[in-house]
Structure formats: C-alpha cells, structure tokens
Amino acid sequence: MPRENRKRGKKHKKKVEEAEVQEPDHIFQEDKFEPQAGPSWIVSASNTTAIDQEAPFGYVDAEVKAYFRTVDLQIREWQDERSGAAEDGDVDPNEDRRLFFVAALTEMSGKEKQLATDPDCSTILERMAYSMDDFVRRVFVDRLSGSFEQLAKHRFASHVIQTLLTVASDTISRETRGIFPPPSESPEESDLRTLTQLVLDACEELLPAFSSLLMDPFGSHVFRALLMLLAPDIFGSDHDSSNTMGRPSFAVRSKKSAAYKARQGTMKSVFIEGQASSESKSSAATPPEFGKTALKYVVALRDQLDANEVRALAANKVASPVLQMLLELEAREGMADISDSLMDRVLVGLITLSHDDPSAVPEASDYLSTLLRDPTASHLLETLVHRSPEKVFNMLWVTYFQGKLPKLAAHPVANFVVAKAFERLNAEQLDDACQELEGVSGKIIKSSRTGVLRALVDRAATLQTQMEAVVEVICSGLELSAGEDRSLFVPCALRLKTLPDYKVALSSRDPEVKGKTEDESHKKRRKTDVDEDPLEPKTQGAVLLQSLLRLPAPHSQVVLNSIQSLSVEDLIAMATMSRSSRVLDAILDSPTVPIKAKRNFVLTFMGHFHVLVDDRIGSRVGDRCWAYADPYLKEKVARSLIPHEHTLAGSFYGKFFARNLSLHVLQRDPERWKNMQAAAKSAANVFSAPAQQSQTPSVPATSANAPVPAPDTVEKPSKKKRKTRPEDEIDALFDATVGKKVKKGELGEAAMLTKQATTGKEDIAADKNLKDVLGAIRSAPKDDKGHRKKKRTH
C-alpha cells in the first residue's frame, strides 16, 4: 500500500475472527474442490510427499542433539585418559561410566535411524559403538534391520554401519565360541537374534541390490567392511593394510573419510575390561556360514551383470576395490579357474583359452593393456597377476610383459604391476627379465621407481638363482664399474644417484649443510628456503639396500664392502638419519650376513660410541649394536666408554644407553659385571624366543612412509614414588664403596645369585666393619651450618 494511503487506528478484529473460523487446509471439502487446468495426470508438486534424502527417517530434535553433544564430550574425555588406570579404593571406576552410558542408550532408544542419518550424531554413534557390550550391539543392529539398503546409501549412516561391522567381529567371535550375555528380562527383547544371525539377515537383505550398491559412493564402502567381516582370513583384520609395494588395498574408508575420522581422536572403549582391541584378531573365530554367504556375492555379481559390465567396473574408482576383493575371494575358494568366472571375464577369456588350448599364445587385448597404465585399474590387475592360475600367468607374461619391460618398468603406474609379476617368475623368466632391465636400470633408479629392482632381488633370493646378474643390473644402473668405484655403492644407491651425479652433488653441496644431521639440515632448508639437499638419503634407496643385504654371501658383499670403506664420521652421519639407519639395522638383523661382518661393523664404532648414542636415532643404532654383541665384545665397548662416563650422563639420549652398561659395576667388580651381562643375555633370549615363534616373518621397512620408532630405552616415570630420605656425602661414599644400590640392569634375582657366588666371607666382614665406621661418622653431631664437628684431641 502506498505510504499516502495508510491510516492510523486499530486494526479490525473481524477479519481475524473470520480467518479463525475457516476450516483447515488438510480436510478434504468436496464443495470447495475446483478442477485444475490441464490434463488430469498432471499433479501439483505441493500435493506430493517426497522423502527427504538427507533425513529419510526424520530430523533429530535440537534438544536431543544438544544432549548427545554433551555425551560426545564426556566420552572423548574418558577415551583420552590412560587405558587401564585404576582408582584408589574398592569403588568400581567404571560404575559412573556405566550409569552415564545407560542413560545415553535410553535416550537413543527409538531414534537410532534418525541419529545415524544426522551429520553430527552419526559420529557420536560411531564413538559409542566401541563401548557397547554384546547385548547392546545386538539391539542396535536389530533396530536398523529392514533399512540397511537405504542406510548404506546415506552419506552419514553408511559410516555408522561400517563401524558397527568393524566392532561386531569381537562379539561374533565370542558367540561362535558359545559366550553369550545373560538373557534380558524384557519380553520385547527375549527373542532377540544373535549378532551372527543379524549379520546374515542383513546380507540377505542387501543381496538383491548388490549390483547397484556396488557402484554407489557410500554403499561400496559398506560392502568392503562386510566382506572383511565375512572372510577375515582372506582379507585380513587390518582395515588399513597395504600390499608389498606400499599402495593401499582393501581400504574400508576413503581417504577423505579416514582423514575425517582421524581428526575425531582416539575411538576405543571407555570401560577398562571391555577394550575394543582386547580380542585378538588372529584368534578370532568365524562361523562357517560366513564363508558361504561371502560366496553368494560372487555368484550374485555373475548373475546380475554380464561380461562387459563386469569389465567396466575395473576402472570405476568406487566399484573397483570391491571387485578386487571378490576376485581374491573367488581365487581362494577355487572358483576362478573355470569358464565364465569373474576372473575369466576380466581377463577377456584367457582362462577359457587355457582350458581349450594350453599352448596357445593370445593376442594382446587393448583392454588389459589399458589396465596396465590406469591408476585405478592397475590395482585390480595386480590381483589378477598374483591370483591367476599358472597357465594363465604364463600367457600374461608372454603377451603383456616379455619384451616390453624397458617401458613398463619405468612407467609411473605400470611398474607396480611389473613388480607384482616378478614375484611369480621362474628361473628362465627371471634371466630374461635381468637381460631386459640391464639397459634401463639407470633410468629406473633416477626416477626413484626401485620397486621393480627390489622385487627382482627378492625373487632371486627366493629362487637362489641369478643373484649375481641382479646385482650387476643394479651396479650398471649406478654406473659403477668393478674396482674402486664399488666402494661408493652404498652412498650412490642410498641417494639414488649415479656415480657421476653423486660426485657432482658432493662437490656442489653447501658447506654449512654438510656434516649436519637430518633434522638440522631440514631446519636450515626451512629457514633459507633453498631446495632439498641432493645428498639426503631416499627411502627407496634404503629399502633396496636392505633387500640386497638379505642375499646370501658373497652376493651381499658389495654392500658390506662399501659400508666398511666409509669413514667413522660418515657412518655416524648415516646412523643419525631415519632412512639410512635402517640399512645399518639390516646388517645386524639379516640372517645371511656373516657373523664376522657383523662383529667388524660393531667394532667400527669403537671409541666413538659416545658420539653415536648422543642422538635420537643414533642411540637406537647403539642399542642394536649392544644387544647383538657377545659378553667379550660388550666388555670392550664398555671399557672404551669409561673415560666418557660423565659425557654420557649429561647426554639426553646417551644416559639411557649408559644405564645398560653399568660402568660402576665394571670398574669395581669385573667378574660380577660379566655374570650380570651373561644373565641378561640368557634372560633376553628366553623372553624373545616365544615372541619370535608367535610372530610371522615380515620384511622390515617396506613402506615408503615407515615410521621412525622412538628410543625404546626411555622409561616412563612411575605413578607413585616412595619417599626417600635426602642423600648426603656419606650416603654417596657408602654407595660408591659398598654398592648397596643395585641397578635395574642386574635383573634382580639373577644378580643376587651371582653376588652370593662371587663374594666371600672376608668381603662381607669388611663391608660390615665399613658400615660400623660410616655409621659412627653419620651419628657425629653437626654444627649450625650442617657440617660435621670434628672431635678435638689434646
């Protein structure tokens, strides 16, 4: 209304009363119906009740949301606390947590689907899932039954299902062994299905929509977690496992989702006796029905998709990992070596051809050639190369690899597939591969794609053949001729530089950076904004040297001779860098390195151990050397460090190394010190033997991002310390003379036995007399300043 037409005064209430008398809009009135213009099949959008895709089960109330935020904050606080910390008194430390958790579960009852689809509350449900007991997990999964297909396609609810399937393995393992929670008194929950049956019913619910959910960006991750739960012996229990080439495989979550979950902090049980990691994954029991259910998905994919549609999944970033898992499952169960299997479809009929004509040489397929160079599909081709039957692999090698290795080995993607193929070569194929790679090994080393060379070394070590040829391939790539140039094998291979390039980098290196440790050089580069140090060790070079050290003598001698030719300063600089120190560890750990070479390596640091252990990483190398040395060699090392005792005591890292040496005992009683070291050595062997038998052998430092362990000699301070009286000069003199205080390195009871065996009655009498004398001195009166008064004699 224009401003000039507005009038003052009160509004009329007549119109408002008429509006209140009007009937509601949702009541159908036949006399008010007016026909709409247009055809009868056109319906207005206001009359439709479309389901909100963001909240298909409704939105969570603001008050409920605020309550669960407080629950999240409290659980975060409990999860950040030290696990297993007991409180004083007889009160159960988990009682308050149980009451709090029961209240949260009561509030959650009936709202599980709404909370799972909420962007904020879904993360809270994931955090609570780790603290749920077996019965609560069964109730939670039962409340979601019937809607798994819709939840699996939801952006937030799919992550909740993944977490539930992850933590369900412990509960299912207990149910398989016959361990069930006490029955509920509620009549509604008396007939509650077991979690094993709930998972099987969920699999049957998802099976008809498997082909569509396979390509869904959220449903695909649910199936990855489900297959890992159904077949943990095939896919492993580690959801972030990596293959031998350091590329992720079978990841349940995407990189973005995994990064988001990592920012949420530690997720574990808030109860002491119910830690999520308490159940051993290696000993987890799996029902026999799970394996049969997993195979149903293989059969369902065969029936729901044809050959072309299956091949189209290989390059799909969402569906390719699930197809890779199904191929692995199909091969392990013996269902791949038949016509029209999933593997046969992806391999474009190679399995069928191997049955019809085993001696046939197929033509190269453009489809498989594309898989070699595709960043997504190459993971799938690695599985095919690794799991295909022997006849099919020979066809793949002749058709797609033989004669093409110079190009494929240097390719940024195909080199991973070539390295996987090298793991199945026979002696003849290995010889051909060495001949093909001899001319391009330099290009491979310069491009830092040494995974192919490492796989070649490992295969030669397994077959015990062509080892000399493999070493020559690497030497030719580094441009090292036989003779004095081989002494620079380790410096060149560690930095992945040829001999001419290494000499140029050595001459042009910044003198201020030269000689510094890795951390110091990083700080200097950050301050001055200069390029990366060309002489900095590379992870790929360190891993390659470790593989060469596992070759039997004399093939590993080229690495040992090069290390022995280095100066002590260069070795110490090498030991203080995280990447290159792993090479020195491999010398002591490798079973193929001769004992004499290991001993000479330890003796190289003689007189320089105080410099070696005065570093965060170098102290770890020093501990390795000390643990390997025999008692005679330990005595030589310890006596060489006696002049530097005060230096070690003042070093932040060296003091932990000196604690194992017990130099004060060596100076006072050498025989007792030897018995202590022998007892410590035997005790270490006894405790390490069961651990070595239970652990499976693995290749150390195979990942490109292998973490550097912190010095394992640092001891955590005890929570409660016993009050002790202050020491004076008499106490220090008594400890230095009698040696009443025993170091932890003496191994308690064993040290006492050796002390009784080596100490005579005369020594005990002398100690007793000395105690009496020192006791008399301590009882002497003191002056005002605390000094002891001397008795005057006339």
3-state secondary structure 374-393: CCCHHHHHHHHHHHCCHHHH
Number of H helices, E strands in the chain: 45, 0
Q: What is the model's pLDDT at position 283?
A: 54
With tokens 């330990």, the residue in question is: 634
Alpha-carbon distance 73 to 634, whole Å? 53
- The pLDDT, as a whole number, for residue 534 is 82
Give residues with Cβ within 8 angstroms of 296, minimum separation 6: 203, 207
- The whole-angstrom separation of Cα 112 and Cα 128 is 12
Say how far residue 158 (Cα) sits from the centre of its chain.
24
Measured CA to CA, the distance from residue 37 to residue 39 in angstroms comes to: 7
For the chain, which residues score pLDDT lower than 70? 1-52, 82-93, 184-190, 236-254, 257, 260-261, 265, 272-284, 483-484, 510-532, 684-794
b/e code 622-652 from CB counts within 10 Å (16+ = b): bbbbbebbeeebbbebbeebeebeeebeebe
Nearest C-alpha neighbor of 202 from the set 229, 232, 176: 229
Closest CA to 550 of 578, 587, 514: 587
Output the six-digit token pair for 176: 């398989």
In sequence order, the β-bridge partners of residue 248 are 242
Give this prediction's pTM: 0.73
Instruction: Look up residue 485 and give its amino acid.
Output: D
Q: Give the per-residue pLDDT at 740.
A: 42
Residues near 75 by beta carbon (within 8 Å), at least 6 away in sequence = 124, 127, 128, 131, 270
Cα distances from 479 to residues 403, 433, 486, 541, 599, in angstroms, run: 23, 19, 10, 15, 30
d(CA 411, CA 418): 10
- CA terminus-to-terminus distance, the chain: 124
Task: Give how far Cα 510 sits from Cα of 133, 500, 528, Å.
Answer: 61, 18, 12
Beta strands in 385-529 (DSSP E): none
**Phi, psi of 2, rounded to the nearest 5 degrees:** -60, 155
State residue 17's pLDDT score: 43
Count of CB atoms situated within 10 Å of the CB of 25: 7
pLDDT given for residue 484 in this prediction: 66
Locus of tokens 């006894």: 686
- Residue corresponding to tokens 């409290």: 74
pLDDT, tens only, 52-83:
678 889 899 999 999 999 999 998 888 777 44
Phi, psi (rounded to 5 degrees) for 6: -75, 145
SS3 content of the chain, % helix, strand, coil (to 5): 60, 0, 40
Q: Which amino acid is at 255?
A: K
Contact assessment for residue 586 and residue 578, using Cβ atoms and an 8 Å cutoff: no
- pLDDT of 729 reads 46
Q: What is the pLDDT at residue 285?
A: 80
Give yes or no for a contact between 552 and 465, defined as CB atoms under 8 angstroms apart: no
For residue 198, the number of C-alpha atoms closer than 13 Å in the C-beta half-sphere is: 28
Beta pairing partners, 242: 248
Q: Residue 101, CB half-sphere, CA atoms under 13 Å: how many? A: 20
Question: Is 782 in a helix, a strand, or coil?
Answer: strand
Q: Can you tell me which residue has the tokens 């997720």?
A: 267
* Torsion angle (degrees, nearest 10) of CA 136, 138, 139, 143: 140
Which residue has tokens 């603290």?
Answer: 131
Cβ-based neighbours of 471, under 8 Å, separated by 6 or more:
548, 551, 555, 558
Of 570, 490, 503, 586, the C-alpha closest to 538 is: 490
Helices (H), 22-147: 62-80, 95-108, 112-116, 121-129, 134-144
- pLDDT recorded at residue 591: 93
What pLDDT does 188 receive? 62
Distant-in-sequence contacts of 311-315, Cβ < 8 A, 24+ apart: 311/345, 311/346, 311/348, 311/367, 313/214, 313/215, 314/346, 314/371, 314/376, 314/377, 314/380, 315/370, 315/371, 315/374, 315/376, 315/377
Q: Is 788 helix (H, G, I), strand (E, B) or coil?
A: strand
CA angle at residue 782 from 777 to 788, to 5 degrees? Answer: 50
Distance CA 7, CA 652 (A): 87
pLDDT, residue 358, reads: 85
- CA–CA distance, 682 with 263 (Å, rounded to integer): 45
Q: Determine the Cα angle at 401 with ends 395 and 406, to 5°.
A: 165
pLDDT at residue 744 in the model: 40
The pLDDT assigned to 699 comes to 36
Q: What is the model's pLDDT at position 686? A: 58
- Tell me what pLDDT residue 264 has: 72
Q: Check residue 398 and give its pLDDT.
A: 94
Instruction: State residue 408 phi and psi, 5-degree precision.
Output: -70, -35
